[in-house]
Amino acid sequence: MNWWFGVTLWKRVLGALILGIAFGLLMTQLMGQQAAAAWLHAYVQPVGDLFIRLIRMMVVPLIFTTLVAGVVAMREPAKLGSLGAKTIILYLVTTFFANLIGLFFGTIMRPGEGAFETVSAAEAVPTSTEAPSIVERLMGVVPDNPVAALADADVLAIIFFAILFGVGILMAREKGEVVGKFFDSASDVVLKVTHIVMEVAPFGVFALIAYTTAAYGLEAFASIGWLILAVYLGLLTHMILIYGGLIRIVLRLPLIRFFRGITDAQAVAFSTSSSSATLPVTITNVTENLGVKRSVSGSVLPLGATINMDGTALYLGILALFTAQAFGYELTALNYLLIALTAAIVSIGAAGIPSASLFLLAIVLDTFGVTPEHTALIVGFILPVDRVMDMARTVVNVTGDAAVAVTVAKWEGELDEETFRAPATV
């Protein structure tokens, strides 16, 4: 088995992804799409589900231990405010540019033109425009019961309690040192366990991609191929221009090294379509490959997995224009502005699970008076193939988390540039 472990993990994951696509297509040709999907769902998909359960298992202990250890490592509670402000501002700025890029590609490519008959033939899926108010979201950050928040994997509540707990350790000074050392050691142990879990990644990625390929097939994408292309081009542009600009132009760091350092996280994000499930891998990559100190990665990345949904904001903007073009809604400059603002707001805190953002579309479409019937038809039309676009936007979300973590670490003097520039170890 030395040859297997001699190959770097990202190459094994990438190879498994390619083989998964090939295997899914092969089984479709041999058995037919429906039979192949059923067989893969019964006998192959469980391996992928196990992998997702394993990395989700790591989310809560990783967030809590690394965040507490990160706060303690700062030594000064005041530094936490500086870090938090820079993080949130960066996430908001990148989301703003994601909106602009999404509206740009939706406008120039016009994916919804001529799609009326195809969309009208779709089976409507009921949607709701109800969303938690700002007050409700803010109140939800403070847990009624920290133990319950940990059990429910309520990420924002865990972050809030972990920060308070870390500040409490700092304020306790000498009496808190033992607890601080415990969490520092615990974060090391949890990261090692994450390494063990990541060895399952190639098998999990193979299973997930094989089933996805067989279940949807290449033909299923033909009717909305132009929309998928617009989404992919928009996401790729955002990733290269905005995140690449942060790393190469603002920080003056090697861009290729950045992307190579997070290849594992991107591959897991693509296969699972879940930024929350990818979080343990993202933290490991950013800490060990890119040299971001735990005081930054342990706080910036969990927050990003919850509020940084640039891919979702971009996607919602394109879908809004797709809807308007398909059904003939006339949009004004004010409509464009409202779409951008609403897409940004609803994307913040969107559930980090597959296709969750699609059901936020109703709120965005409501800004220019789309009827409930048209909204239901759009959701019904896109839902069967949303996964292939969801995979790409999750990659963008995870890449954005990493880019912001590196940026904040550089500004805070918490980036080991020697590690960043060295060959990836994970």
**Mind listing the pLDDT tens digit for each residue in 281-310?**
898 899 999 999 887 887 788 878 777 889
Q: Can you give the pLDDT at residue 240?
A: 94
User: Per CATH, which fold does 2-421 belong to?
Assistant: Proton glutamate symport protein (1.10.3860)
Question: Once rounded to an integer, what is the mean pLDDT over residues 394-422?
Answer: 92
Structure tokens given for 222 = 């033909």
Residue pair 339/103 in contact (Cβ under 8 Å)? The answer is yes
What are the tens digits of pLDDT across the range 83-125? 778 888 898 889 889 988 999 999 999 888 766 555 654 554 5
Q: Can you give the pLDDT at residue 234?
A: 95
Q: Which of 395, 409, 333, 326 is nearest to 361 (CA)?
A: 326
pLDDT band at 78 (very low <50, low <70, confident <90, very high): low
What are the tens digits of pLDDT across the range 208-219? 888 878 876 665
Report the C-alpha gap between 146 and 142 in whole angstroms.
9
Report the C-alpha gap between 369 and 383 in whole angstroms.
21
Q: Which of 351, 381, 393, 422 is nearest to 156 (CA)?
A: 351
Q: Can you give the pLDDT at residue 408?
A: 93
Residue pair 355/387 in contact (Cβ under 8 Å)? The answer is yes
Q: Can you give the pLDDT at residue 121?
A: 47
pLDDT at residue 195 above 70? yes
Which contiguous run of DSSP H or E holds residue 327? helix 310-327
Max alpha carbon distance in the chain (Å)?
Answer: 71
pLDDT at residue 404 above 60? yes
pLDDT at residue 39 above 90? yes
What are the tens digits of pLDDT across the range 43-54? 998 998 888 788
pLDDT at residue 24 above 50? yes
Structure tokens given for 377 = 């038809």
Q: How many CA atoms lie within 13 A of 94 on its CB side?
A: 38
pLDDT band at 395 (very low <50, low <70, confident <90, very high): very high
Q: Can you give the pLDDT at residue 130?
A: 54
pLDDT at residue 335 above 80? yes
pLDDT band at 398 (very low <50, low <70, confident <90, very high): very high
Q: Can you give the pLDDT at residue 257?
A: 93
Average pLDDT of every residue of the chain: 82
pLDDT at residue 220 above 60? no
Q: Which of 330, 397, 399, 302 is nearest to 357 (CA)?
A: 397
Report the C-alpha gap between 120 and 105 in whole angstroms.
23
pLDDT at residue 399 above 90? yes
Least confident of 282-291, 342-351, 378-387, 409-418: 342-351
Share of the chain above pLDDT 70, in %: 85
Report the C-alpha gap between 349 and 234 in whole angstroms.
21
- Centroid of chain to Cα 68: 23
Rg (CA), the chain: 22
Structure tokens given for 205 = 């990625």
Question: Once rounded to an integer, what is the mean pLDDT over residues 320-327?
Answer: 88
Q: Where are the domains of the chain?
A: 2-421
Q: Can you give the pLDDT at residue 137?
A: 62
The pTM of this model reads 0.74
Q: Can you give the pLDDT at residue 174?
A: 84
Residue pair 75/170 in contact (Cβ under 8 Å)? The answer is yes
Q: Can you give the pLDDT at residue 194?
A: 79
pLDDT at residue 321 above 80? yes
What are the tens digits of pLDDT across the range 343-358? 877 776 555 445 556 6
